[in-house]
């Protein structure tokens, strides 16, 4: 699988509640009325200012728009939709020392989108890792980044 295909799969999972109700969703999402471009810049700053490197910045909204005709899409989903992935040597190591299988949660993905049906509202979030085995610190980190981005 190419890096781009992997990134699209990860982003698709991050942007999809997988049929769960809002209360059962594995996603943590905050909303803001700031301009999408500003939110994405703030999201990247919140990652980089902690000393992390954005490994990949995906523009999933552009990909979906570009391929809409090819897949027979009937409607536009997003005005804008992007994701960023990164890893933390410190936090990831702690999680992986607690359980080697926590490698499966890295890299971490944060996303931002503006739905076609809700212009002016940008949603920012991440997929929560299951509690325990060193993963709680990862969830705390991701939540802090999202909250900083949205002003919560």
pLDDT digits (tens, 9 = 90+) for 56-102: 999 999 999 999 999 999 999 999 999 999 999 999 999 999 999 99
Cβ proximity of 111 and 86 under 8 Å: no
Report pTM. Answer: 0.83
> What pLDDT is recorded for position 134?
87
Q: Which helix (H) or strand (E) holds 111?
A: strand 108-115
Q: Which two tokens stand for residue 20?
A: 């769960």
User: Which positions ≥6 away from 8 have C-beta within 8 Å?
Assistant: 58, 60, 63
pLDDT digits (tens, 9 = 90+) for 140-150: 999 999 999 99
């Amino acid at each position: 699988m190419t890096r781009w295909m992997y990134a699209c799969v990860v982003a698709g999972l991050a942007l999809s509640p997988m049929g769960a109700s809002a209360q059962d969703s594995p996603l943590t999402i905050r909303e803001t009325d700031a301009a999408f471009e500003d939110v994405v810049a703030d999201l990247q700053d919140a990652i980089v200012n902690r000393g992390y490197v954005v490994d990949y910045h995906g523009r999933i909204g552009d990909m979906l728009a570009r391929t809409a005709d090819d897949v027979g899409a009937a409607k536009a989903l997003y005005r804008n939709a992007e994701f960023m992935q990164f890893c933390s040597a410190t936090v990831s190591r702690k999680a992986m020392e607690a359980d080697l299988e926590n490698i499966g949660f890295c890299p971490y993905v944060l996303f931002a989108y503006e739905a076609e049906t809700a212009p002016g509202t940008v949603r920012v979030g991440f997929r929560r890792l299951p509690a325990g085995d060193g993963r709680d610190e990862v969830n705390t980190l991701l939540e802090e980044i999202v909250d900083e981005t949205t002003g919560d």
